[in-house]
Amino acid sequence: MELTITKRDGTKELFNADRINRSIERACYGMIDPIAKVTQVATDTKITLYNGITTEELDLATINAATQNIKENPDYDKIATRLLLKTIYKYILGDYGDNIEQLKKLHQDNFSNFIKKGVTDKILDSRMVELFDLDQLSRALKIERDELFVYAGLSTLLNRYSIKDKNQKPFETPQYFFMRVAMGLSYNEKDPTEWAIKFYEKMSQHEYVAGGSTNIYSGTATPSLSNCFLLEIHDDMGHISKSVADVMLLSKASGGIGASITKLRAAGSPLASNNTTSSGPTPFAKIIDTAIRAIQRGGKKKGALCFYMENWHLDFSDFIEWKHNAGDDYLRMRTADTAVFISDEFMRRVEKRMDWYMFDPKETPDLNELYGESFSKKYNEYIKMAEEGKLRMWKKVPATEQYRHILVAMQTTSHPWLTFKDSINLRALNNNTVTIHMSNLCTEICLPQDKDN
């Protein structure tokens, strides 16, 4: 049976096995026993073919045939990478006849058009044309550096970070990507072209790679370059509503978010405004969890957020269960992550096998703002008040029991992450401002927050 291939323009031609084999051969150059590798990839490719297969599907079939053999020999990773690069070159630069020198020339000759078309289509910022010597930048491109990629890195760059055209088709090669990001970082330099080349040299050699949001948005018409945001949600409906809106807008701009919810009063806490009781932090967290699930960061990644709660909060036992797979879905967070903000006081009580007391933040509002010795002193004062019947809502558990509960949840669901309030605040260089209430999504940034910041 004869197989036909459907080309991009819709026309059909007979399947040419020699053409596919030559393509795989070029991807195997410089390797040990290339004939065996070509035969393996070609054989695995042929199994998946069908009559009328498109050229795009045929390219993908050869790449998949290579990737499924990586477990047998890491050389197949390089083969898959080269095959993927070939498809991107052909789609963006056109036919180069497998001539490397021709490919380099096409790369340089088309760079200026890539930038200008991006600006015309309002994909790229107009400053990309106004501030740079595009001819000089095109001469700085080093296509041979695409050989530095492994398959996972290249496919991630193309699928998640490289920009697409108006039809959501590939718009930039890997080296165009690096130069586009470098240009977007250089607007305010004295000589933007010089600095774009300096940035490009580092990035194209994989010596430095910018963060996710920078990679997605640098040089574009919406240049949101910040990757991480931290915010604290306060205990009033207006600020809760504002925080939901902030989370949505920051997620839209591709930001990863850390949000402290320790200040939200506990479930059952009285509401003076209407003489009822609070539903606690969980339903409000669920609203945010749903909101970030609805938003694709940069159109490429699901929204991402981590909730932080101090473990003296009365509803902390519910918080531990937020990432559990079973239970009422309204009480579970399907997208957001969770992290516990632990004090040294708690760890001392675990060590000494003492009780751990939990309170309603409405009655103990200053605990969230204290750390170190000041926290321990005030915490013990509240324990005394609770035992004397001066607090409305509180409970106690053995500290070891809560710690075990945290660790079991962490082992089974990977949440909550453990972060240490006193270590963070006592070592912070900016702890002369206000208290640091949590970290960010990835737990590497610790900055102070208040209601307005």
Q: How many residues does the chain have?
A: 453
Q: Decide if 376 contacts 340 (C-beta within 8 A).
A: no
Active site residue 444: yes
**DSSP collapsed to 3 states, 155-189:** HHHHHHHCCECCCCCECCCHHHHHHHHHHHCCCCC
User: Which CA distances in Å does 376 have to 350, 367, 439?
Assistant: 14, 9, 21
Catalytic one of 21, 57, 110, 442: 442
- The neighbour count for residue 19, using CB atoms within 10 Å, is 11
Q: Which three-class secondary structure state does DSSP give residue 315?
A: coil
The CA distance from 260 to 249, in Å, is 17
The CA distance from 82 to 306, in Å, is 37
The CA distance from 98 to 105, in Å, is 12
The CA distance from 219 to 216, in Å, is 9
Catalytic one of 69, 215, 311, 440: 440
Active site residue 227: no
Q: Which residue in 166, 145, 141 sits closest to 157, CA to CA?
A: 145
Residue 431 is encoded by which pair of tokens?
């702890």
* DSSP per position, 83-127: HHHHHHHHHHH---TT-HHHHHHHHHHHHHHHHHHHHHTTSB-TH
Residue 338 is encoded by which pair of tokens?
């969770």
Q: Which three-class secondary structure state does DSSP give residue 269?
A: coil
Count Cα neighbours of 218 within 13 Å in the Cβ-side half-sphere: 26
Active site residue 442: yes
Catalytic one of 72, 444, 446, 453: 444
- Pairing relationship of beta strands 228-232 and 53-54 according to DSSP bridges: unpaired
Cite the active site residues.
Answer: 440, 442, 444
